[in-house]
Amino acid sequence: MSQENLISTSIPADTLADINSKLTNVSASLAGILLFNLTADERRAMRTLGDKTLAFVQKTLEYAENYPALLPNYLDLPEAKKDFALSRDVYTILQQVNTLQRALEDTMMVAGSEAYDAALIYYNSIKAASRGNVPGSEAIYNDLQQRFALKPKKAVAKQ
């Protein structure tokens, strides 16, 4: 049985250090902007912006600016425009980050799956060698077996 190999690359140490440095710089650049750590309930309660709602907000704020007589006195238009600009800018950054995140997740999944497959091939080989009393295999098998402990199946409740 041969192992499928969809990816065969690595990240050089200097490249990884450069990436981590740049990500630290991005985080530092956004430190005064990314001020919230919302709970799950707070996130569910918030209105969200996407392509359609961004367009709606933009058009609404344009009307509010062009027809000030219709603007309620309790609406702070400059602040609304500032919030919109920030949400639009963060949305643009988020789209890039989401694309990058998906590519990172997919690459990690493929590389991790291939590494796990290789580990299982070796583990099963050691397991067979241990059963056949091949010298040195039992100690390796016993060590790996502890790390590869399968969770026992839950007993089905009798009714």
Q: Where are the domains of the chain?
A: 19-147
pTM, two decimal places = 0.74
Round to whole Å and give the CA distance between 115 and 134: 25
Q: What angle do CA 58, 63, 68 make, to 5 degrees?
A: 130
Please tell me the distance from the alpha carbon of residue 41 to that of residue 34, in angstroms, as a whole number: 19
Maximum CA pair distance of the chain? Answer: 90
Burial of 141 (0-12, 13-18, 19+ CB in 10 A): buried
Mean pLDDT value of segment 24-41:
92
pLDDT tens digits along 103-116: 999 999 999 999 99
Name, in order, each residue with C-beta under 8 angstroms of 19's C-beta and a sequence gap of 6 or more: 11
For the record, the structure tokens of 26 come out as 């991005």
pLDDT value at residue 115: 94
Residue 14 has pLDDT above 90, yes or no: yes
pLDDT in tens, 108-152: 999 999 999 999 999 999 999 999 999 999 999 999 998 876 666
Residue with tokens 């918030």: 46
Q: Which helix (H) or strand (E) holds 22?
A: helix 13-29
Query: How much is the average pLDDT of 31-40?
Result: 90
